[in-house]
Structure formats: C-alpha cells, structure tokens
C-alpha cells in the first residue's frame, strides 16, 4: 500500500479501548516514528485538554506531539479563530473546550455572544441551556463539538454532547455546525495548518460512521481497523468503501 | 350552536395571557356557572400544582373546582395509576408533577424505575438526565408531560419540556408517550373519570397545534378562539377544521 505524510489516527477503539491499549496500534505508532513520521491523533473528545490526552496516550506507551493532537475542542477553537476572527463565544463545555478557546485567544462572554459553542458539560444546568437558546434566537452562530448521542461508561450509555445539542436545536429551530467527525473540519484543520495536500493524508479509525465518513467527506484515503465500534462485515456492506480494511494496525505498512 | 356537559377550556391564550385575564373568557366561565355547569380547565402546564393553578385563576376572577383542573401533570399521574398500577416512577419535574404523583399514590424511586416520567424541571442537571437515559435503556416505559419545545418568558423563548424530552429520546433512541395536548390523554381522563360521552364534550382553545388537535384526536367538538397563539386566518387554512371558530368567548352561547 501507499505511504502518507499525515497519518490521522482515531483514539478510542483504534489506539485504546477505554483503559486498555491496543498493542498493534501502539506498535504501529512506533514504526511510524522510527521512520520520522509523527502521527496525528484525531478525536471527537472535547472534554480533555491536549495535555490530558497526551498523558493518557503516554500511559499506553504512545508518545504524541502536543500540536498533533486534534480534538474536536481544539478544532472548534481553530475554526472560530479562522472563520469568525474577533467574535465572542458563549460556551457550554468542560476543561478541554475552555482551554482550547484560551489557547486560540478567543473571547468568552456570559451572554449576548456572536457564537454559541456546545461541548459535553457534566455541570450542565437549565440556565446554561436557556442562555444558549436565547443567544441563538438572537442570531448567534451555533457550533457544536460533535454529534455523539451517547457514550459508554461503567454505568451504561450516558447522554453525549449530540443529545444536548439536539435539545437546543429542537427548542430554537436552528441546526448547528458540528465540528467533530464525520464532519471534515478536524482533517481540514490539519491540512490547513501543516500544509498537507489531501493526497498526502490518510484517516485511520474503527468507527465507519465517524472516522471513515470524515475521511470520505474530506476526500482523503481511509483505513478501517476491526478493533472497535464497526465490525468489518458491516463496513463491507457500505456503499462507500474505505481505501483499506485491515484486521488491526499490524497489517498496515508504513 | 349546540350546548355541552363538559366544556374543556385551555388556560394560557384562552382564559389569560401571561399575567392578564381575557375578560370575554372570564365572563364565559361565569355564564356557564350560572347555568350550573362547572367547566374543566385543561393545560399542558406540569410545573404548577392544581392548587396553584386554582389560585392563579382566582386572581383573574375565575372560580375553578380543584378536581376539574386537568394539567398534564395530573393527567400523567392518572395515566400511570390506570395503565401501570403498582409500577415505580423515576421523575424529572417540578412541584406540580411531584404532587400529582403523591396524590395518586404512585411510588417514586431514584433509579431502576419501571417508568421514566419527564416534565419541566428548572433544577435539571446531567445526573438526572443520565439516570433517565439509563433506566429507559434498561426497559423503563418513557412518558413525558408535553411536547412544548419553548415557552415565552420576559427574557425570550426558553427551552421547554419537549426539548429536554427530545434530548433523552435522541440519546436512547426511544420515543416517549406524550400526555399533554395535542395528545388526547387529558380529554380521555376527563371522559373516563366523570363519565362523559364524547358527544357531550367540547375542547376550547387558542392553539390549533395543541388544543384543537387534541380535540380532533379524541374525536370531540372543538372551538377555536382568536385570543392567543394561532391567528384565525391560519386556522382557516388547515385541512381539519374546528367545529366552531370565534373571535372570543363572548360569541359562544351556553
């Protein structure tokens, strides 16, 4: 198979499963780094900061460069800075999103914002959602980190940011722009910032509906790995196929 | 026009607008009572108790009999008692819903409920919504007081119970049974409890999408009043017409 300059690797289900590393992925990253290729890590997670994600990867034996960790929080902040420079943001979210906005020097306000940005927030309450609805009804641009309706926990599937975003969209009648996968914004940010051509990039992940579709939406090559959410046989039924389908990342030449 | 035994009168937009009474409606209720007909008051409001609603009506000069105030909270509790006797309820809601459950002797639990019941809750938080999602995924019946996506306040349109219900429905993939209008459950409860035949009942209200549709769904006569949400000319465009359309309740013979 072809080699690439930018390997964009999903995290949960691709590099680790919850608290367990996937050894074939850990080895794959090392093989890349031995060839002086630093991978990108592309995750819909918006609650953790880049540093927290780097530390989590380090615990699994994966060394990641901070600027190459692209979360939907980081991508959202970069999107705002690039397309809405100087605009103020009303944010619902947690530490990852907060720090991403600080990092890009974006002004946060408590109301009357130009932009409403939603990410998962364990401290969500009525007032926060009400203010988001009021600002959106007053014309604020509506952005959301990702569409994730639920995420696994030891208690079962808990409501994700996509569910809270649906609440605000239903109440206001305004649909948001989603930043995370399957949208292409995170890949676009990597391409824009690091100067890669689409032909030099590949998106690698376990979830057809997010990872593979993000790659297809942006128009880059894709690799499906059979280590997470979407079983290989389900992927084979899809009309739009990934460029490569592998059992795990030990099968991927670099 | 025909006279009825059960006049089912909507509240907001029909008897009052926010904090102002609608005088033609106040007189209409008095005329009914002079003929020894006690009206029913049918409201999607689930946050206020029957007593609070009675007191609010009294401030506008309307005397209401407590058992004839049918809120979506009262209707929800009666629905549970009738169709799921002995079953436990996990409730999200405020005082009106809480008291309605107490009144019907329904057991409330903090988790592992047979039924999840949602109403508007100004103290909503992540944990409450998470528990609702977990119980529904574990097979609990999903009920919600009403579909209202937004409601007016002095600050603007705030998210209503329907928006929060949409969050839980989106996250779990389970659609709830809604109790409030346009569903027929409140009218059905009046018919069942007081022993009225459908031909003896009429639903009166300002909102085509809730009041008139509730009457049409239950199969009783309907009166649209031009004092609230839906303008008369919009009603005239609808395929399913109310039985009567009046400017206000001074035009309604009793």
- Tens of pLDDT, residues B97-122: 999 999 999 999 999 999 999 999 99
**Confidence check: pLDDT of A152 > 90:** no
Q: Is the pLDDT of residue A18 over 90?
A: no
pLDDT(B254) > 90: no
Percent of chain A residues topping a pLDDT of 90:
96
Cα dihedral angle (B95, B100, B104, B109), rounded to 10 degrees?
-50
CA–CA separation, B184 vs B165, rounded Å? 19
Residues of A in contact with B147 (CB under 8 A): none
pLDDT at B126: 98
B219 and B169 in one domain? no
Indicate whether B119 and B167 sit together in one domain: yes
Give residue B72's Cα distance to chain centre: 4
- Beta-carbon contacts of A193 under 8 Å, excluding residues fewer than 6 positions away, are A78
Cβ A166–B170 below 8 Å, yes or no? yes
Q: Is the pLDDT of residue B152 over 90?
A: no
A187-199 average pLDDT score: 98
- DSSP-derived secondary structure for chain A: ----SEEEE--BTTTEETTEE-HHHHHHHHHHHHTT-PPEEEE---SS-HHHHHHHHHHTT----GGGEEEHHHHHHHHHHHHSTT--EEEE--HHHHHHHHHTT--B-SSS-SEEEE---TT-BHHHHHHHHHHHHTT-EEEES----EEEETTEEEE-HHHHHHHHHHHH--PPEE-STTSSHHHHHHHHHHT--GGGEEEEES-IIIIIHHHHHHT-EEEEESSSSS-HHHHHT-SS--SEEESSGGG---
Whether A216 contacts A240, CB under 8 Å: yes
Predicted local confidence at residue B4, as pLDDT: 97
Q: How many angstroms separate the CA atoms of B104 and B173, rounded?
A: 30
Active site residue B211: no
Q: Are residues A240 and A190 in the same domain?
A: yes
Establish if A63 belongs to a structural domain: no
- The average pLDDT across B50-62 equals 97
In a domain, B80, yes or no: no
Give the dihedral sign, CA A142/A143/A146/A152: negative
Residues B170 and B206 in one domain: no
Is B53 inside a domain boundary? Answer: no
Residue B1 pLDDT? 79
Given 3-state DSSP classes, what are the helix, strand and coil percentages for chain B, each rounded to the nearest 5?
A: 40, 20, 40
Are B121 and B104 contained in the same domain?
yes
Tell me if chain B has a CB within 8 Å of the CB of A26. Answer: no
Q: pLDDT tens-digit profile of A228-253?
A: 999 999 999 999 999 999 999 999 98
The residue range of the domain holding A24 is 6-44+181-251
Confidence of residue B134 (pLDDT cuts 50, 70, 90): very high
**Could you tell me if A207 and A187 lie in one domain?**
yes
Q: Does residue A173 share a domain with residue A89?
A: yes
Domain limit, last residue, from A153, A178, A203: A178
If asked whether residues B131 and B169 sit together in one domain, one would say: yes
Answer whether B122 touches A (CB < 8 Å).
yes
Asked whether residue B183 carries a pLDDT value surpassing 90, the answer given is yes
CB B243 within 8 A of CB B212: no
Note the pLDDT tens digit of each residue in B194-243: 999 999 999 999 999 999 999 999 999 999 999 999 999 999 999 999 99
Question: Does the residue B119 lie in any domain?
Answer: yes
Shortest CA distance to B38 belongs to which of B190, B241, B223, B207? B190
> Quick check: A66 contacting B, CB < 8 Å?
no
Q: Does the annotation list B206 as a binding residue?
A: yes
Residues A160 and A199 in one domain: no
- Whether A197 maps to a domain, the answer reads yes
Last residue of a domain, one of A144, A178, A212: A178
Q: Distance between CA A84 and CA A129 in Å, rounded?
A: 22
Domain termination residue (choose one: A178, A202, A225) = A178
Tell me: the pLDDT tens digits for A173-185? 999 999 999 999 9
Q: What is the pLDDT of residue B37?
A: 97
Close Cβ partners of B36 (under 8 Å, ≥ 6 residues apart): none
**B68 part of a folded domain:** no
Instruction: Name the domain count of chain B.
Output: 2
Distance CA A176, CA B133 (A): 23
Q: Given pLDDT bands bounded at 50, 70 and 90, which one contains residue B123?
A: very high
In a domain, B222, yes or no: yes
CB contact under 8 A, A157 and B126: no
Q: What is the pLDDT of residue A103?
A: 97
User: Does residue B124 share a domain with residue B111?
Assistant: yes
Nearest to A157 among B137, B150, B157 (CB): B137
Do B169 and B190 belong to one domain? no
- In a domain, residue A60? The reply is no
Cα A105 to its chain centre, rounded Å, is 20
Q: φ and ψ at A70, to 5 degrees?
A: -110, 100
State yes or no: pLDDT of B246 exceeds 90: yes
Do B136 and B108 sit in the same domain of this protein? yes
pLDDT number for residue A93: 98
A66: Cα separation from own chain's centroid: 15
| Per-residue pLDDT tens digits for A52-111 | 999 999 999 999 999 999 999 999 999 999 999 999 999 999 999 999 999 999 999 999
Could A122 and B121 be called an inter-chain contact, meaning their C-beta atoms sit closer than 8 Å?
no
- A95: domain CATH number is 3.40.50.1000
A171/B156 touch (CB, cutoff 8 Å), yes or no: no
């Amino acid at each position: 198979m072809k080699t690439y300059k930018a390997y964009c690797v999903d995290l949960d289900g691709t590099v680790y499963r919850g608290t367990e590393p996937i050894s074939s992925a850990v080895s794959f990253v090392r093989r890349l780094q031995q060839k002086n290729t630093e991978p990108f890590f592309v995750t819909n997670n918006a609650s953790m900061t880049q540093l927290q994600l780097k530390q989590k990867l380090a615990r699994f034996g994966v060394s990641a460069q901070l600027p190459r960790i692209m979360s939907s929080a980081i991508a959202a902040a970069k999107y705002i800075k690039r397309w809405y420079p100087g605009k103020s943001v009303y944010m619902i979210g947690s530490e990852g999103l907060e720090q991403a906005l600080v990092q890009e020097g974006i002004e946060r306000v408590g109301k009357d914002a130009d932009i409403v940005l939603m990410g998962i927030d364990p401290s969500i309450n009525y007032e926060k959602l009400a203010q988001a609805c009021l600002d959106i009804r007053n014309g604020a641009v509506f952005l959301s980190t990702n569409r994730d309706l639920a995420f696994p926990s030891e208690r079962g599937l808990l409501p994700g940011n996509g569910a809270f975003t649906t609440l605000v969209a239903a109440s206001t009648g305004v649909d948001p722009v989603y930043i995370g996968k399957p949208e292409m914004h995170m890949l676009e940010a990597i391409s824009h910032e690091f100067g890669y051509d689409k032909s030099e990039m590949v998106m690698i992940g376990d979830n057809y509906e997010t990872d593979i579709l993000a790659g297809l939406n942006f128009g880059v090559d894709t690799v499906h790995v059979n280590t997470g959410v979407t079983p290989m046989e389900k992927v084979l039924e899809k009309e739009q196929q990934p460029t490569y389908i592998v059992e795990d990342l030990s099968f991927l030449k670099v």
